[in-house]
Structure 1
Amino acid sequence: MIKDLHPNVVKDIAIAVALESESVESKVWYVYIINLKNETLENVLITSKGYGEKDGEQVKTSVLRHSFPIIEPNTYKLIEPIDEQTFGLNNEYWLSYYIGKEIFDKKFIFLPESIIDNNFIKLPVVNKPGVMIR
């Protein structure tokens, strides 16, 4: 039975952490979903959470849920702000969406210390510096 199911592979969708602004005192970071497809995403649901070890203790952040009725082709949506203190944790974003009647889902995980200057690119569509997982 399971072998007969068609796997719905997520392509041309990215989750990105972007540097919004920077001052001497602090940096402001936002997380975005980027739709690089030529198709509209519908009923988009995203859960986010952080987990891992910090200072020798296990740490978990709250699970946050976000929804967007649609995300147009070649556009992006702001998911949430993210605190720099969580960059030492695994930051997980679980995405589900529909295209027509087909459902797609994928888990995106920013590993500890992966959101660093050495990994920065110019994010497509958003046009800001940041780190992206496709």
Structure 2
Amino acid sequence: MKKDIEIPKVKNVYIAIAKEWNEDFSSNDWNVYLVNDSREAMESVMIMSRGKHDDGRKTATFRHAFKVVAAKSSIKVELIMPEVFGFENEFILTYFQNGKLYDTVFTAPPHSINEESATNAPVMDIEAVVLNP
């Protein structure tokens, strides 16, 4: 029954959004990273990202899959454009760890992605906007 279903709490996993220099295009780009600050690898990782605005506009939905994200590491997920920073940006994460299924949502409220909100990101040792589940 429903009471028998265990839904484990996601811990030590973050979404980090960092502004970085892009050598190829000679520009500062914002990139989304998945950060695994736990002692165990994440397996069969799936991330879905989307944005929605108060006026009804929506962004495209992006889906990403990674076989493994090692313990105490990060992986680049996608480029995020500043034009969608006024949207509520949502990152839905699903993965397996130690044989258990984890599922959580990270939300960046409108206008929360900016350089002033950046802090030191775990594992990465760079300044980034860090989202908690």
- Kept in 2, the 8 Å contact 1:15–1:31? The answer is yes
State how far apart, in whole Å, the 2-side matches of 1:109 and 1:15 are.
9
Q: Which structure features the higher share of strand residues? A: 1
Task: Report the identity percentage.
Answer: 32
Structure 1: segments with no counterpart, 5+ residues: none
Corresponding residue of 2:6: 6
Q: 8 Å contact 1:20–1:128 — kept in the other structure?
A: no
> Which residue number in structure 2 is paired with residue 38 of structure 1?
39
**Deviation of the 1:26 alpha carbon:** 5.5
Output the amino acid matched with 1:93. F
Deviation at 1:66, TM superposition (A): 0.2
Could you give the per-residue CA deviations for residues 20-51 of structure 1, whole angstroms, max 9, x where no partner exists?
128xx953100000000000100000000111
Residue in 2 aligned with 1:17? 17
Deviation at 1:116, TM superposition (A): 2.2
Structure-2 separation of matches of 1:127 and 1:20: 13
- Report the Cα distance in structure 2 between the residues aligned to 1:15 and 1:51, rounded to whole angstroms: 18
Alignment of 1:1-134 (within 5 A): 1-21=1-21, 27-53=28-54, 57-134=55-132
Higher mean alpha-carbon deviation, 114-123 vs 85-94, is at: 114-123
Instruction: Give every structure 1 segment of 4 or more consecutive aligned residues whose post-TM-superposition deviation is greater than 4 Å.
Output: none
In structure 1, C-alpha distance between the alignment counterparts of 2:70 and 2:119, rounded to whole Å: 23
- CA deviation string 1:107-129 (max 9, x = no partner): 10100011123311021222221
TM-score by length of 1: 0.90
Please say if residues 41 and 99 of structure 1, whose CA atoms lie closer than 8 Å, have aligned partners that are also in contact: yes
Count of aligned pairs between the two proteins: 129
Q: Calculate the aligned-residue CA RMSD, in Å.
A: 1.6
Counterpart-to-counterpart distance in 2, 1:123 and 1:99 = 22
Hey, what's the Cα distance between the residues in 2 that align with 1:117 and 1:80? 18
Unpaired segments of 5 or more residues in structure 2?
none
